[in-house]
Amino acid sequence: MAGNARVGVLALQGDVREHAALLRGLGAEVVLVRRPDELATVSGLVLPGGESSVIDKLSRLFGMQEPIRAAIAAGMPMYGTCAGLILLADDVLDGIDGQESFGGMDVAVRRNAFGRQTESFETDLDVPALGEPAVHATFIRAPVVERVGAGVDVLASLPDGTVVAVQQGSLLGTSFHPEVDGETRFHERFLDLAETFALTRESTHA
């Protein structure tokens, strides 16, 4: 597992501290990213759960939308949980008027697909890419992936076939919140991607 990557957590709104604490526990150097110059110092970015519409508005207010889109286009790894998954989707279903995403992942994601806070639930998921044991997943007003493009790998689905974890190249997204359950394997996968990206960028600039 990559333990020395310098990665960021987008710190505009949402469960920023939980992601930062988990990543630091895995040995990563963590930057709380609010400005483009901070984004430029990291090799990967976590987009946390929260309110996707609020994070979208704040990203534009702080001048972060275009730099994040540029970083995605340049291959920087990103991991979005819940609202973060919505922000990585090319298509957002049931968004509020004017809501935008960063995009980059060829999926359509529906906001609040399970209803309001009262419809939050927990379950165990089989995630073959992560091996055993099963992933204990907490869904809080969670989105779901309703369309998956040709280049997207489905990492996990609910028993009814609903897609809740996806990866496309260096972009990773989950409908649920591993950071609240002490589940580290998705973050480890993200750190491996970030370490690879950092090494590739260093060799390019050497």
Known catalytic residues are 82, 177, 179
Give which of 69, 4, 1 is closest to 30, Cα–Cα.
Answer: 4
At residue 34, the 3 state secondary structure works out as: coil
Cα Rg of the chain (Å, integer): 16
Name the one residue in this structure whose structure tokens are 């997204």.
173
Q: Which 8-state DSSP code applies to residue 96? A: P
Residues with Cβ within 8 Å of 45's Cβ and at least 6 positions away in sequence, in order, are 7, 8, 9, 10, 33, 39, 68, 71, 76, 77, 78, 79
Q: Give me the numbers of helices (H) and strands (E) for the chain, helices first please.
A: 6, 12
User: What does the alpha-carbon distance between residue 144 and residue 62 come to, in Å, rounded to a whole number?
Assistant: 28
Angle made by CA atoms 101, 179, 146, in degrees to the nearest 5: 40
Structure-token pair, residue 136: 């204990």
β-bridge pairing 171-174 and 78-81 = parallel
